[in-house]
Structure 1
Amino acid sequence: MSSPDSTRHKRFTFDDYSLEEVPITERYGLYNLFLTLSASFGAIAVLFAGGVLGGGLNFVGATIAVLTGGTTVLAIIGALSGAIGAYSGLSTYVGWRFPFGRAGGKILGFALITITTGIGWFAVESWFFGVVMNEIFPHNPFFSVWAAALWGGALMILSTYIGYRALSFLSYFILPQHVWLVAVGLLLAISIHGGWGAVLTAVPKSHMTLTEAITDTVGLYIAGSLIAPDITRFARRARDAVTAWVLHMYVFYPFLILGAVAIVLLTGSVIITEDMLKLGMGVGVLLIIVLGQWIINTVNLYSGSLSFTNAVPIRRDYSSVIIGIVGTLLAAYWGYTAGASLAPFESFISLLGSLLPAAGGSVFAEFFVVKPYLDGIKDPKQRFKLEAGKEYPEVNLVGLLSFSIGAIVGIFVPIGIAAINAILTAFAAHLLLAYIFKKAHMKYEFGKYVYRGGVVR
């Protein structure tokens, strides 16, 4: 007969503690966190972003944009998010119950992550996987766009079903191969096209301002920075999560994006995979597409499944299959109806996704200021702590109002970087509103529910 503890462990084998704190026995150290974060958030998307930068900036300008702008901003945001995840052990969306209430967190998580990332971008990336596979193997029915989108999406669903352990396992292969392939491509491009001097003197085909470049580098990673708790909740210590994120932002991210910039400047095409094909790296391009798309889309679906489980009473592993199937069928449909433009849909989910920074501002304010200084909870491990049998609010009006104010500013204010505007505005609004409501003894939390542990409900 199995013990209660072993039964509990089996129940969460694939559910990945989606609605409760990850126990310390299931957490990992710095090395694992660094590999998993770097591979999960930094694979193929960073290479294509480097292609965009290389098409509009010279190498020195791109380096300034990446190191002094995007990397520093993203390192700070991801470190703050990662620390919250490690301290609380909770997924991004369960943690949102504190600044927004359970109902507010469910609605925001479902709209901002399940729809945009778990279904929307999962479908777009699966479709893109099918497009690239069809370009590499154009005359094989198995690699037609719709067919490749189907079996590619199925692979991604499988690894998401398994959960963090699958992401961790894949990272041990994907991170080294990306570093190696970019290094090989860079050395080939330099040796063929005139050395480092040619990199430094190469002129881009179009023009991009430094502000635009910084905005693009921040926009590329802002969502990943804010949902970092989905990964860092598996960190043994908060400093491991922070160190892993900062190292990956200052070591791995600049190497990939600036390596791609150099290759693009030397070879001429802004599509990095085309440049690598020109350099004779056919197998390398295939590896980048297959493994890079695999883990990036696995993370899309993984975060979507955590958000879905927080909103709907179903286990995380089952939710990953449900929303993964929806996304895969969408991708296959787009592939079958070749020529149909995805631009309207991409614009729609991009708009919804641009609201995420405002949510991050409210979360930061609640965790780092309101809880310790207005509520007196100094221990960071207790600030976002869910205790079985304790009552918590369904709606937190302060969080929802501050999110709304930050979102409006992020969308409609044309000056500066929209994501940063939204974060800072929501942060300031949350602090001001919380202070006013508390000092005036005005009620801002409504409805009550009793937390009953990590059971699906």
Structure 2
Amino acid sequence: MNQSDDYPLSAVPTDKRKGLWSMMSILLGFTFFTSTMWAGGTLGKSFSFYELISIIFIGNLLLGSYAASLGYIACKTGLNTVLLGRYCFGLNGSKLSDFVLGFTQIGWYAWGTATIAIIIVKLLELPDTWLTPLMIFFGFGFCISAYIGYKALEILSKVSVPAMLFFIGLYFYKGILDIGGISEFIAIEPTESMPIAAAITLVFGTFVSGGTQATNWSRFAKSGKVAVISTLAAFFIGNGLMVFVGAFGTAIYQQADIVDVLVAQGFMLVAILMLFTNIWTTQDNTIYNFAAAGCNLFRTDKRRLVTLFGAALGTVLAVMGMYNMLIPFLILLGTFIPPIGAIIMTDFWVKYKGNMPDLSSIELPKYNIVGLSAYVIGSGCAYASPWIAPLVGIITSAIAYTILLKLSTVKTQQEQSI
């Protein structure tokens, strides 16, 4: 297989692994995303400063721990989530996770494509007739680096991440000056209300689909330590920063999007640069994720062709109005995606004791009823739970898989003894 195909159906060879700076650049670029700020904006209107910090800390600690655990497994096996899904869901059963994960990534891609078109039309005061052409242009334009592969993603992120950190620092500095100091910001009272469980679910859900598929890059890590540190940096610190950025802007300027705030602060050029770097570094990663899921779903190694197909599909959804469905979409992600990662982790540690056999050397069933049943149980409990849905889904699916696995093992042993 050509290296540019990035091994969509096989483990990453040890001689192709990457170091900490490479991994952190890509993963931070992935989590620096506008939609996370919008989620933060919702929280910023509903909680006081210290409540907000606690919710961001808890939600992103859960998210970071979840993503880092999967990242470690991906590094040890060289496999991404959709390939690991073959072990616990079966060769054909894993197509369930392919569809769920692939669909969510297309949802993100559609949202990002619509977002940049809408913001540009607004900033440049263009007529609304520009919206569809701009969505088509960016829908295909943002997939170029993903089409090329890991190397292009790495180069873009190494340039964009430091630039975005500088822009965010400028944004915070001007915001504190405008509000009259840090103490004035801390003293701002919430204007709306929201259940804490729903808030933590929202924080977790902002990027749980991305955290579940961050294995597409953590499998390139040189060591488990590199995989864990880089994933935690992105999903605990990076995603947490984006949530806080949205809450900060809403509290002071009644605007969650950093681009709108930078314009209001008088930094038009910085706002445009932030818009492009922020969305592009997530869009290319998102469509790369879709391609990974699509390659496993259709059993093809033509990753670049699947990338183009995903970009076309995401563009169509953007034109159809995916932009207006963000918050319900995020909560849905926080419910139905975490059980997939939880079952993969349980399979790795409980069934295989941290030592999975090579994918090419093991005979797997078409459908793993144990894994599929545990997923249904975990998702059902998460959906029905009034408590923190992602956490409920993770815990119940892991417990269900462990119990069903042991029952299945006992049944097999009894059959063999007859």
1:126 partnered with 2:113: yes
Instruction: Give me the whole-angstrom Cα distance separating, in 2, the residues matched to 1:231 and 1:309.
Output: 16
| Distance in structure 2 (CA, Å) of the matches to 1:343 and 1:253 | 22
| Cα distance change, pair 140–27 in 1 and its aligned pair in 2 (3 A) | farther
Tell me: CA distance 1:277–1:208, structure 2 relative to 1, closer, same or farther (3 Å): farther
Distance 1:443 1:113 in 2: 37
User: How big is each residue's C-alpha offset from its partner over 1:211-231, in whole Å with a ceiling of 9 and x where there is no partner?
Assistant: 333222111122222222111
Q: Kindly tell me the number of residue pairs found equivalent between the two proteins.
A: 414
Give the one of 310, 317, 323 matched to 1:323: 310
Correspondences of 1:20-419 after superposition (within 5 Å): 20-67=10-57, 69-109=58-98, 111-118=99-106, 120-139=107-126, 144-314=130-300, 315-331=302-318, 333-334=319-320, 351=332, 354-372=335-353, 380=354, 382-383=355-356, 385-387=358-360, 390-413=362-385, 415-419=386-390
- Give the TM-score normalised by structure 1: 0.84
- Taking only the aligned residue pairs, the percentage that are identical comes to 23
Deviation at 1:363, TM superposition (A): 0.9
> Are the counterparts in 2 of residues 43 and 175 from structure 1 also a CA contact under 8 Å?
no
Write out per-residue CA displacement over residues 347-368 of structure 1, whole angstroms, 9 at most, x where no aligned residue. Answer: 5796477321121221111011
Letter in 2 for 1:59: F
Q: Map Cα deviations across residues 293-349 of structure 1 (whole Å, 9 max, x no partner).
A: 112222221111111110113311111111212222343x43xxxxx6865798579
1:284/1:50 CA distance change after superposition, 3 Å: farther
Aligned-partner Cα distance in 2 for 1:426–1:305: 26
User: Given that residues 123 and 330 in structure 1 are in contact (C-alpha distance below 8 angstroms), is that contact kept between their aligned partners in structure 2?
Assistant: yes
Q: Answer whether contact 1:264 1:275 (CA < 8 A) is retained.
A: no
User: What are structure 2's unaligned runs of at least 5 residues?
Assistant: none
Partners in 2 of 1:266 and 1:399 — Cα distance? 47
The 1:125/1:95 distance shift into structure 2, 3 A limit, reads same
**Which residue is 1:12 aligned to?**
3
Structure 1 residues 384 and 125 mapped into 2: Cα distance closer, same or farther (>3 Å)? farther
SS in 2 for 1:392: coil
> CA–CA distance in 1 between the matches of 2:333 and 2:238?
28
Pairwise CA distance, 1:416: 1.1
RCO higher in 1 or 2 (8 Å CA, sep ≥ 6)? 2
The match for 1:454 is none
Asked whether the 8 Å contact 1:62–1:213 carries over to 2, the reply is no
RMSD: 2.5
Letter of the 2:410 counterpart? K
Q: Write the letter of the residue equivalent to 1:392.
A: L
Task: State the distance in 2 between where 1:281 and 1:223 align.
Answer: 32
- Change in 2 beyond 3 A, CA 1:74/1:41: same
Q: Cα deviation per residue 1:39-97 (whole Å; 9 max; x = unaligned)?
A: 11233233333322222222222111112x11221121011111111111112101110
